[in-house]
Amino acid sequence: MELRLENLTKIFTNKNGQDTKAVDDLSITIESGTLVGLLGPSGCGKSTTLFMIAGLLKPTSGKIFFGEDDVTKLAPEKRGIGLVFQNYALYPHMTVYKNIMFPLENMDVPRDEAIERVKAMANLVGIGDMLDRKPAQLSGGQQQRVAIARALVKKPRVLLLDEPLSNLDARLRLQMREEIKRIQRETGITTIFVTHDQEEAMSISDKMVVLNYGLEQQYTAPQIMYNEPSNLFVAKFLGNPPINTIDVEIKNNYLMINEQKFMKLNVKDGSYVMGMRPEHFRVAKEEDEKIKIEVSEIFHIGRDTMIHFNVNGQNVRALVDSDSVGDNDKNIYLTLKRNRVYIFEKETGKVIDHE
């Protein structure tokens, strides 16, 4: 089912009467059956957005549509959503079986069918043999699965996950994010999840929304967002190691790097911020547009080699193939593909199309 947010705004007012815009005029459409990640630094309004979709928070203005239904004013229990909390919120006094059964007990479901559904769901998430245990006897990953099963057993229209992996250790996190993707695919349910971990969001989302200070920065598929960031914030937020950003001048349509002409760009002359991802650098061949750099430090990390060098007085990292540089190389020619050079406006941070 399609989910649509229209001009969704949430303003929190504190005791002193100061307003904080947690979510600012957010309008996005989430297609049926997709897994969408809400991504942003802490305090960017992603959990607020999720709780507004769940109905636990009331929006200050704007509307929420599930398909054609306007659910903005509906109470949470009437929206037909499944929500997985950050700490799972499993009832500690009930067994796994009763925890998953709990939502069904409030619905008009025949008993046999309810039992059937609980068992099927437990098997789907892979905890079929742990139904008699209490949550305290389960590991973090298993509790997570129970929470997902409890959210899914009532066949919700939308599944919402609040920081689903933040309480798991690194190895389990990898495993569970594949699990979540699998469960989402098998059930085909429209899913929204909140995270501050860009790698996690990129690895499982069909599409991502990046938020900052409640404002939508970009909404598209992860790989597109990575390669074509719409502004400096998105570019900086995605990627590990992070993108290099340096202040550059463009003179006579040429991008100037260390006083050398690097690349001819279709951009007005002036000061800009340039972004380059470390892994997009290559050691230049004869015919490429290239810059000569002086290596200040060099680290070999297996397959890749990290080179540190100075551009316009600022430190830049480049990740290149280990075979292409020698240990004693002091001066190297590096290049970048034209479409991997990002030029941002200095004031607004907006990306400039330089083709």
Partner 1 sequence: MNNLRNSVKQFLGKIMKNIKTFFWNLRRAVNNRKKKISDFLDRKNLNFAGKFPGWAKALIYLAPALIVLSIFTFWPIINSLRLVTFENYNIVNNDITGYTVFGNFIKVLNDESFLFEASHTQGTAIMNTLIIVFISVPISIFLALFISVALNSIKFLKNFFQTVYFLPYVTNTIAIGLVIAYMFKADGGLVNQLFGLGKFPWVESGAEHWRSMFVLIFYSIWGSLAFKIMVFLTSIQGIDKQYYQAAAIDATPRRRIFSKITVPLISPMIFYILVTSVIGAFKIYNQIVALFGVTGKPDGVDYTMQSIVMYIYKYIDGGNNLSVAAAGSLILFAIILVLTLVQMQVSKKRVHY
Minimal distance in Å, beta carbon 89 to partner 1? 4
Helices (H) and strands (E) in the chain, counts: 8, 21
What string marks each residue from 9 to 38 as x (binds partner 1 by CB under 8 A) or -? ------------------------------
Window of 102-110, 260-268, 270-278, 317-325 that interacts with partner 1 by CB under 8 A: 102-110
305, two tokens: 């080699």
- Smaller CB distance to partner 1: residue 76 or 126? 76
Window of 100-108, 113-121, 248-256, 290-298 that interacts with partner 1 by CB under 8 A: 100-108
Instruction: Please report whether residue 96 would count as binding partner 1 according to CB under 8 A.
Output: no
Instruction: Please report whether residue 178 would count as binding partner 1 according to CB under 8 A.
Output: no
State which of residues 81, 165, 168, 201 lies at the interface with partner 1 (CB under 8 A): 81
Instruction: Please report whether residue 278 would count as binding partner 1 according to CB under 8 A.
Output: no
Q: What single letter denotes the amino acid at residue 24?
A: D
Minimal distance in Å, beta carbon 272 to partner 1? 47
User: What span, in angstroms and rounded, lies between the C-alpha atoms of 200 and 219?
Assistant: 16
State which of residues 105, 116, 132, 269 lies at the interface with partner 1 (CB under 8 A): 105
Q: Are 191 and 208 in contact (CB under 8 A)?
A: no
State which of residues 1, 25, 63, 102 lies at the interface with partner 1 (CB under 8 A): 102
Window of 48-56, 172-180, 193-201, 228-236 that interacts with partner 1 by CB under 8 A: 48-56
Q: CA triplet 224, 44, 208: central angle to 5 degrees?
A: 20
Under 8 Å CB-to-CB from 176, ≥6 apart: which residues? 141, 144, 164, 165, 168
DSSP tag of 261: E
Instruction: Please report whether residue 91 would count as binding partner 1 according to CB under 8 A.
Output: yes
Alpha carbon distances (Å) from 195 to 85, 178, 281: 12, 15, 29
State which of residues 7, 29, 70, 107 lies at the interface with partner 1 (CB under 8 A): 107
Strand arrangement of the beta sheet that strand 282-283 belongs to: 282-283, 331-335, 291-301, 304-311, 314-321
- Cα 86 from chain centroid? 16
